């Protein structure tokens, strides 16, 4: 089997779109209300820390992906059990991400089309892309990312041009004290979207130039955070915190305010494009993580699983919750403690400690041998 | 030893091309095993009852000889002259040829310039006769002398019909392969320009040349092309499109994976970029591989006009690609699912126009697009004499009359017209065809899922495009994977003194085109104090 590789420029676009993904759909840091921008800035640093930590984890065993490292730390039977857990986790997140998007489409774009159809078609496209391999995912993301930047900029210009941006909406800073802000930073934003970069522990192993991938992914995190910051800034300043809090899809609502010369109106399409690309990349990366796990467990090329898994993901993205509020509630109050914290922080820390311990023991024994 | 090798080679060639035209066992016979008297019958046996095979008895000096040729293939006027001047000329009266060496000496003396060839087996002889050579067999000599008298009558070099330019060379390739190679050689006077010959097609035995510039072309890619051409196992090749279909990396795609052109200047500049030209006998279209998507948006005229203008035109091409692809589906999607996306006044005007139209938008678009495709096909296939009729009737059907009859709305006419014209902007016809097909898929999807569906299909299309490869080179090459140095001649054309590197995605053997230099500038004025 030919080893697939993605280039550094593809990696950076993947990181950017991954972080934008569902964060830009449902809005992030909204618990802090008008101080959401502080949350994003704090999140940026947490994100840098997290991606550096994951990179450090991988660099201890270069060329191995997350699942293979699990085997090195523990034995294969234990690793298989843990991998199955991670496969379910990755696929579950992919379901959630796709559900976010499906809800948005059926609420705002195609109200008469059943959500099952929109979700299934998106999942099939993802399945096709992953069937073609991670390279194709990287290239697709590379081609569309410039448009994300251009559209984001256009959105800013149009909102500014139509006079919707009120900087005073940001004031006063920390009116409700720092408690809600801190609460929004830990744990909320550190697990979603930054902690979710755990999926990159699988992708990073495929990068051609592993040495530089730390710098590149750090740049990716910075750029993505800037875009998130811009989106939150646009949302809060144009909508005001009250409407922003009540809106299910705040960026889309903000885009609907645009009206220039009674001609440039309703630029929803731009926002839908940004969101769709983010969702596509994010869920693809997660499904890819799951597929790689399956490859590890069953010793079969992951391509064979891609279409069936895409179908399963599309099905479960409907089954995981009854409606949108249920879906959001689950994400905000249940997943964080039950899934995100142990999967994104707990197990990686365990692995890190084990790896370092093994390394230390090996060094010591090697030192002893030299002495002897 | 030599004979053994020859035998081995013959066996090899038989293994490679199992077909009708391969010599049967009888034809494998070497010349020395057949007597001079029976050779006529042997040749007749091979060719059967074809009327154009001629076998004439002549005298070469004092020796008896027979010449074989196909009088429909060779130039008979030349033959007559040649017979008078060399073979039967009075100067050679007393010559007597008895051995192969003497035959060779004679051939060298008489036809040294025009190219003679000695052959030793009947199968070779059959092949050379078919190629348009005459074969001379002299009594008692176990070999045949063949001389080329190919009748290269054909179209003369004329203006290109499909890839026209306003400014630039006006010659185009023709059907004759040696003329085509001549046109390229005239432009690149370089000994590194090399052509390798292959015979493709088990029945047609078509000559195919692979042209490349040594020292520029990537040897690995060249080897891959060579391998693919050799591996072709097909009965007939009539056009380079046949070859294109047989060597492309993936069949299940609507996108052309090889660039075809009839312009010698395009081929020459591509060769110097490190591409490989596949030249097929009998067609004016030459294939260039590896082809990437952006190649289809580049016309050779881009280099012949101001680079600001060229860059602008190139932008227009990409824009018109998007228009040609998306216009009808966007119309359907917006009108069916998202009318709120249109500014109110525009929406009102569109709705007012569609007032009396009995069809939903998707049916309207389909009627018009299909009508246009029919007209277009009719325009290509019809006999020239009835051309007028089709254009007049066509203009009526697709134009004002249809709108006045209330079948379709006026805006629909505009959309179909823009789409059609945008589709003709491509410098390369085969790529326009791909976008024509995808357009229909987009219209159907837009009628079911609106703009969301259009976006999905676009993402699917891009994913498909990025999975394609042309002779191993990614189809979206300088864009994805992104290569910074190659961006000088992709979306915009930078001045040619600035493009000092060959495209890196082709991984050429030497990357540098020329030494980096500045922009041309007026001579520096030497002022009194400035120089010191």
Q: What is the pLDDT of residues B38-62, one digit of tens each?
A: 888 888 888 888 888 888 888 777 7
The answer to whether position B479 is within a domain reads no
Spatial distance between the Cα atoms of B462 and A328, rounded to a whole number of angstroms: 32
Q: Contact B480/A272, CB-based, under 8 Å?
A: no
Residue B15's pLDDT is: 47
Residue A1's pLDDT is: 42
Whether residues B68 and B187 share a domain: the answer is no
Flag whether pLDDT at B322 surpasses 60. Answer: yes
Range of the domain at B251: 177-291
The answer to whether position B526 is within a domain reads no
| Reported confidence tier of residue B91, pLDDT bands at 50, 70, 90 | low
Percent of chain A with pLDDT over 70: 98
Residue A157's pLDDT is: 93
The answer to whether position B153 is within a domain reads no
Residue A50's pLDDT is: 93
Q: Pick the closest to residue B357 from B324, B329, B335 (CA basis).
A: B335
Spatial distance between the Cα atoms of B431 and B257, rounded to a whole number of angstroms: 10
Q: What is the mean pLDDT of residues B150-159?
A: 81
Residue A332's pLDDT is: 82
Whether residues B381 and B326 share a domain: the answer is yes
Whether residues B101 and B245 share a domain: the answer is no
Spatial distance between the Cα atoms of B474 and B292, rounded to a whole number of angstroms: 7
pTM of the model: 0.89
Whether residues B68 and B108 share a domain: the answer is yes
Q: What is the mean pLDDT of residues B142-160?
A: 81
Residue B4's pLDDT is: 56
Whether residues B335 and B263 share a domain: the answer is no
What is the assigned CATH class of domain A8-319+345-362?
Answer: mainly alpha
Q: What is the mean pLDDT of residues B195-205?
A: 92
Flag whether pLDDT at B254 surpasses 90. Answer: yes
Write the DSSP symbol of residue B507. -
Window from A48-52, A126-130, A251-255, B354-358 with minimum mean pLDDT? B354-358
Give me the residues paired with residue B145 across strands. Answer: B118, B136
User: Residue B200 belongs to what H/E stretch?
Assistant: strand B193-200
- Give B476's contacts in chain A (Cβ within 8 Å): 139, 143
Whether residues B308 and B266 share a domain: the answer is no
| End position of a domain, from candidates B268, B291, B314 | B291
Flag whether pLDDT at B1 surpasses 60. Answer: no
The answer to whether position B525 is within a domain reads no
What average pLDDT is seen over chain B?
A: 85
Whether residues B278 and B318 share a domain: the answer is no
Per-residue pLDDT of A240-281, as tens digits, reads 888 888 888 999 999 988 888 878 888 888 899 999 999 999
The answer to whether position B506 is within a domain reads no
Q: Contact B449/A117, CB-based, under 8 Å?
A: yes
Flag whether pLDDT at B530 surpasses 60. Answer: no
Flag whether pLDDT at B14 surpasses 50. Answer: no
Per-residue pLDDT of B359-382, as tens digits, reads 899 999 998 899 889 888 888 888
- Give B460's contacts in chain A (Cβ within 8 Å): 125, 128
The partner residue sitting opposite A276, judged by closest CB among B455, B474, B481, is B455
- Give B345's contacts in chain A (Cβ within 8 Å): 262
Q: Contact B456/A273, CB-based, under 8 Å?
A: no
Whether residues B26 and B135 share a domain: the answer is yes
Q: Which residue of A has its CA nearest to B343?
A: A263
Spatial distance between the Cα atoms of A83 and A69, rounded to a whole number of angstroms: 11
The answer to whether position B520 is within a domain reads no
Query: What is the count of residue pairs from A and B with beta carbons less than 8 Å apart?
Result: 89
Q: What is the mean pLDDT of residues A108-117?
A: 91
Total residue length of chain B: 532
Flag whether pLDDT at B36 surpasses 80. Answer: no
Q: Which residue of B has its CA nearest to A129?
A: B463
What is residue B509's three-state secondary structure?
Answer: coil
| Reported confidence tier of residue B89, pLDDT bands at 50, 70, 90 | low
Window from A311-315, A333-337, B373-377, B389-393 with minimum mean pLDDT? B389-393
Spatial distance between the Cα atoms of B400 and B413, rounded to a whole number of angstroms: 8
| Reported confidence tier of residue B531, pLDDT bands at 50, 70, 90 | very low
Residue B17's pLDDT is: 44
| Reported confidence tier of residue A47, pLDDT bands at 50, 70, 90 | very high
Residue B532's pLDDT is: 47
User: Residue A270 belongs to what H/E stretch?
Assistant: helix A268-298
Flag whether pLDDT at B154 surpasses 60. Answer: yes
- Give B252's contacts in chain A (Cβ within 8 Å): none
| Reported confidence tier of residue B406, pLDDT bands at 50, 70, 90 | confident
Whether residues B104 and B16 share a domain: the answer is yes
Window from A239-243, A262-266, B8-12, B294-298 with minimum mean pLDDT? B8-12
Residue B279's pLDDT is: 95
| End position of a domain, from candidates B291, B321, B355 | B291
Parse chain A into domains and list their residue ranges: 8-319+345-362
Q: What is the mean pLDDT of residues A137-145?
A: 94
Q: Which residue of B has its CA nearest to A112?
A: B337
Flag whether pLDDT at B2 surpasses 80. Answer: no
Q: Which two tokens stand for residue B268?
A: 């020459």
3-state secondary structure A94-108: HHHHHHHHHHHHHHH
More confident residue, B493 or B526: B493
- Give B474's contacts in chain A (Cβ within 8 Å): 139
- Give A135's contacts in chain B (Cβ within 8 Å): 466
The partner residue sitting opposite A140, judged by closest CB among B338, B455, B462, is B462
* Interface confidence (ipTM) of the complex: 0.94
Whether residues B12 and B75 share a domain: the answer is yes
Q: What is the mean pLDDT of residues A186-201?
A: 89
What average pLDDT is seen over chain A?
A: 90
Residue B280's pLDDT is: 94
User: Residue B440 belongs to what H/E stretch?
Assistant: helix B429-467
The answer to whether position B511 is within a domain reads no
Whether residues B86 and B210 share a domain: the answer is no
Which burial class, exposed, middle or buried, applies to B141 when counting CB atoms under 10 A from its CB (0-12, 13-18, 19+)? Answer: buried
Whether residues B317 and B424 share a domain: the answer is yes
Give the count of domains, chain B. 3
The C-alpha of A307 sits at a distance from chain B's nearest C-alpha, in angstroms, of 14
The answer to whether position B213 is within a domain reads yes
Spell out which chain B residues touch chain A, with contact meaning CB-CB distance below 8 angstroms: 337-338, 340-341, 343-345, 449-453, 455-456, 459-460, 462-464, 466-467, 474, 476, 479-482
Window from A36-45, A82-91, A230-239, B31-40 with minimum mean pLDDT? B31-40
Residue B129's pLDDT is: 85
Q: Which two tokens stand for residue A55?
A: 């990179």
| End position of a domain, from candidates B425, B446, B474 | B474
Residue B213's pLDDT is: 94
Window from B110-114, B370-374, B401-405 with minimum mean pLDDT? B110-114
How many angstroms separate the Cα of A330 from the Cα of each of A93, A96, A249, A275, A333? 12, 10, 17, 21, 6
């Amino acid at each position: 089997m030919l080893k697939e590789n993605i280039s550094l420029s593809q990696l950076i676009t993947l990181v950017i779109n991954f972080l934008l993904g569902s964060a830009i759909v449902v809005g992030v840091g909204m618990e802090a209300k008008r101080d959401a921008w502080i949350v994003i800035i704090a999140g940026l640093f947490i994100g840098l820390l997290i991606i550096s930590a994951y990179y450090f984890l991988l660099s201890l065993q270069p060329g191995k992906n997350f699942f293979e490292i699990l085997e090195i730390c523990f034995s294969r039977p234990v690793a298989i059990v843990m991998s199955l857990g991670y496969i379910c986790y990755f696929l579950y997140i992919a379901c959630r991400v796709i559900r976010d998007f499906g809800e948005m489409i059926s609420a705002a774009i195609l109200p008469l089309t059943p959500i099952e159809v929109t979700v299934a078609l998106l999942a099939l496209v993802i399945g096709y892309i992953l069937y073609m391999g991670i390279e194709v995912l990287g290239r697709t993301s590379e081609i569309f990312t410039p448009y994300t930047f251009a559209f984001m900029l256009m959105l800013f210009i149009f909102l500014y041009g139509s006079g919707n941006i009120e900087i005073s909406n940001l004031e006063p800073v920390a009116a409700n004290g720092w408690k809600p802000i801190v609460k929004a930073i830990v744990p909320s934003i550190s697990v979603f979207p930054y902690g979710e970069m755990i999926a990159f522990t699988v992708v990073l192993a495929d990068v051609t130039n592993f040495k530089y991938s730390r710098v590149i992914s750090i740049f990716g995190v910075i750029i993505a955070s800037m875009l998130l910051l811009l989106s939150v800034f646009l949302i809060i300043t144009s909508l005001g915190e009250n409407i922003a809090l009540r809106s299910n899809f705040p960026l889309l609502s903000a885009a609907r305010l645009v009206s220039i010369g009674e001609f440039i109106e309703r630029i929803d399409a731009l926002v839908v494009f940004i969101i769709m690309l983010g969702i596509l990349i994010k869920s693809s990366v997660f499904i890819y993580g799951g597929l790689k796990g399956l490859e590890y467990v069953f010793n079969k090329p992951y391509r064979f699983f891609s279409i069936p898994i895409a179908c399963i993901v599309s099905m479960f993205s409907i089954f995981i919750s009854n409606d949108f509020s249920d879906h959001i509630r689950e994400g905000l109050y249940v997943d964080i403690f039950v899934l995100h914290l142990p999967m994104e922080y707990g197990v990686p820390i365990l692995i890190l400690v084990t790896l370092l311990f093994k390394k230390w023991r090996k060094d010591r024994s090697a030192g002893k041998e030299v002495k002897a | 030893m030599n004979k053994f090798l020859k035998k081995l080679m013959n066996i090899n060639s038989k293994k490679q091309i199992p077909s009708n035209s391969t010599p049967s066992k009888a034809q494998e016979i070497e010349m020395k095993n057949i007597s001079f008297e029976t050779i006529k019958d042997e040749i007749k046996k091979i060719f059967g009852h074809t009327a154009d095979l001629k076998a004439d008895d002549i005298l070469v000096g004092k020796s008896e000889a027979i010449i074989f040729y196909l009088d429909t293939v060779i130039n008979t006027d030349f033959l007559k002259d040649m017979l008078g001047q060399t073979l039967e000329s009075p100067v050679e009266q007393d010559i007597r040829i008895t051995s192969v060496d003497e035959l060779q000496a004679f051939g060298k003396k008489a036809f040294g310039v025009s190219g003679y060839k000695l052959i030793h087996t009947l199968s070779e002889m059959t092949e050379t006769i078919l190629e348009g050579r005459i074969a001379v067999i002299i009594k008692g000599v176990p070999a045949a002398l063949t001389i080329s008298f190919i009748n290269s009558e054909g179209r003369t070099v004329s203006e290109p019909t499909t890839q026209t330019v306003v400014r630039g060379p006006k010659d185009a390739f023709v059907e004759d392969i040696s003329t085509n190679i001549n046109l390229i050689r005239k432009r690149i006077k370089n000994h590194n320009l090399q052509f390798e010959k292959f015979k493709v097609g088990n029945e047609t035995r078509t000559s195919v040349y692979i042209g490349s510039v040594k020292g520029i072309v990537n040897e690995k890619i060249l080897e891959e092309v060579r391998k693919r051409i050799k591996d072709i196992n097909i009965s007939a090749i009539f056009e380079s499109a046949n070859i294109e279909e047989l060597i492309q990396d993936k069949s299940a795609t609507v996108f052309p994976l090889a660039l075809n052109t009839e312009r010698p200047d395009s081929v020459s500049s591509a060769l110097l970029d490190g591409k490989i030209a596949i030249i097929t006998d009998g067609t004016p279209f030459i294939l260039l591989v590896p082809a990437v998507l952006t190649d289809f948006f580049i016309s050779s005229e881009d280099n012949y006009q101001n680079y600001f203008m060229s860059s602008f035109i190139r932008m227009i091409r990409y824009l018109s690609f998007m228009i040609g692809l998306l216009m009808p589906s966007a119309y359907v999607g917006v009108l069916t699912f998202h009318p709120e996306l249109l500014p109110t006044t525009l929406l009102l005007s569109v709705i007012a126009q569609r007032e009396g139209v009995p069809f939903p938008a998707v049916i309207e678009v389909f009627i018009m697009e299909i009508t246009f495709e029919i007209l277009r096909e009719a325009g290509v296939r019809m006999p020239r004499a009835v051309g007028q009729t089709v254009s007049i009737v066509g203009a009526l059907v697709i134009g004002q009359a249809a709108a006045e009859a209330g079948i379709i709305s006026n805006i629909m006419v505009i959309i179909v017209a823009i789409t059609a014209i945008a589709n003709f902007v491509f410098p390369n016809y085969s790529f326009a065809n791909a976008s024509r097909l995808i357009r229909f898929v987009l219209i159907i999807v837009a009628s079911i899922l609106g703009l969301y569906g259009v976006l999905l299909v676009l993402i699917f299309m891009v994913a498909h495009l990025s999975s394609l490869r042309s002779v191993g080179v990614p189809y979206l090459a300088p864009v994805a994977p992104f290569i910074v140095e190659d961006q000088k001649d992709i979306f915009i054309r930078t001045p040619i003194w600035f493009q000092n590197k060959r495209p890196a995605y082709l991984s050429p053997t030497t990357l540098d085109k020329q030494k980096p230099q500045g922009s041309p500038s007026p001579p520096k004025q030497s002022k009194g104090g400035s120089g010191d």
